[in-house]
A and B are shown apart, each in its own frame.
Chain A
């Protein structure tokens, strides 16, 4: 992750950053709900194994996923 993008996020107004944290929490809860549903359905989901939790996830990874894709290419 490029430091300049992270710094750009750090410069956002506090209200906007708190809104993004709220979105991160919602996404994290969705991942957990999905995992619980998958477990109770007993269907193995190979792709979800790495998704365990978004705790500590930085907004850059969520809100600028295209950067991650660019890096992977």
Chain B
């Protein structure tokens, strides 16, 4: 992995996602998953990056073949459900419903000079509550402890998507 100092080529990932927007292959995107959670919490181990995108192509494939083909032409490799950049796995996931709203309302950031968007913690919590694996429940607890949460906003998202936070 990595001739980048961090070992995780996140700037390259975000740059590539911006190129996909410029090329019209996707409408919008945001960093989701564990790396988005780490934006707000202490760092923890994760082995991939999740890019959640709003598709330009609203057919069933969500334009994924064109996205893969574009990134492969830039030197990315495909390994099962991941695309690899400098051996680091990245998943491109088409947004819908809650995740689409999370992309549209994502926070603008700059990472090593690259403009990008990252899910707000309220949406990371709601998405984790909807998935509900043990690691998602741990993520919810960690975010509630360490991130500044807009409680009315979180409650509104949970209510609209009929979700509940786990009870301890």
Contact = CB atoms under 8 A, between A and B. Distances in A.
Given A21-B45, A25-B47, A57-B44, 4 more contacts: A19-B8, A22-B1, A22-B6, A56-B45
Contact of B7 (A10, A14, A26, A58): A26
For the residues of A in contact with B, the DSSP-based class is helix
B79 interface: no
Given A18-B35, A20-B43, A25 B7 contact: yes
B167 interface: no
Nearest to B34: A21
Contact of A21 (B43, B109, B138, B146): B43
B45 A22 contact: no
B34 to A, nearest CB: 9
A15 B46 contact: no
Contacts of B6: 15, 18-19, 21-22
Interface string B14-47: 0000000000000000000001001111111111
Interface string A19-45: 111111110100000000000000000
Query: What class of interface size applies to chain A in its complex with B?
Result: 20 to 34
Query: What class of interface size applies to chain B in its complex with A?
Result: 20 to 34
Given A15-B111, A19-B5, A22-B2, A58 B46 contact: no
Contacts of A15: 6, 111-112
Contact of B45 (A12, A19, A24): A24
A56 B44 CA distance: 6
B43 A58 contact: yes
15 contacts: A10-B42, A15-B111, A18-B111, A19-B5, A19-B6, A20-B43, A21-B7, A25-B1, A28-B45, A55-B45, A56-B138, A57-B45, A58-B43, A59-B42, A60-B42
A15 B38 CA distance: 10
B146 A10 contact: yes
A70 to B, nearest CB: 18
A9 B41 CA distance: 7
Contacts of B41: 10
A18 B42 contact: no
Contact of B40 (A10, A18, A20): A10
A19 B8 CA distance: 7
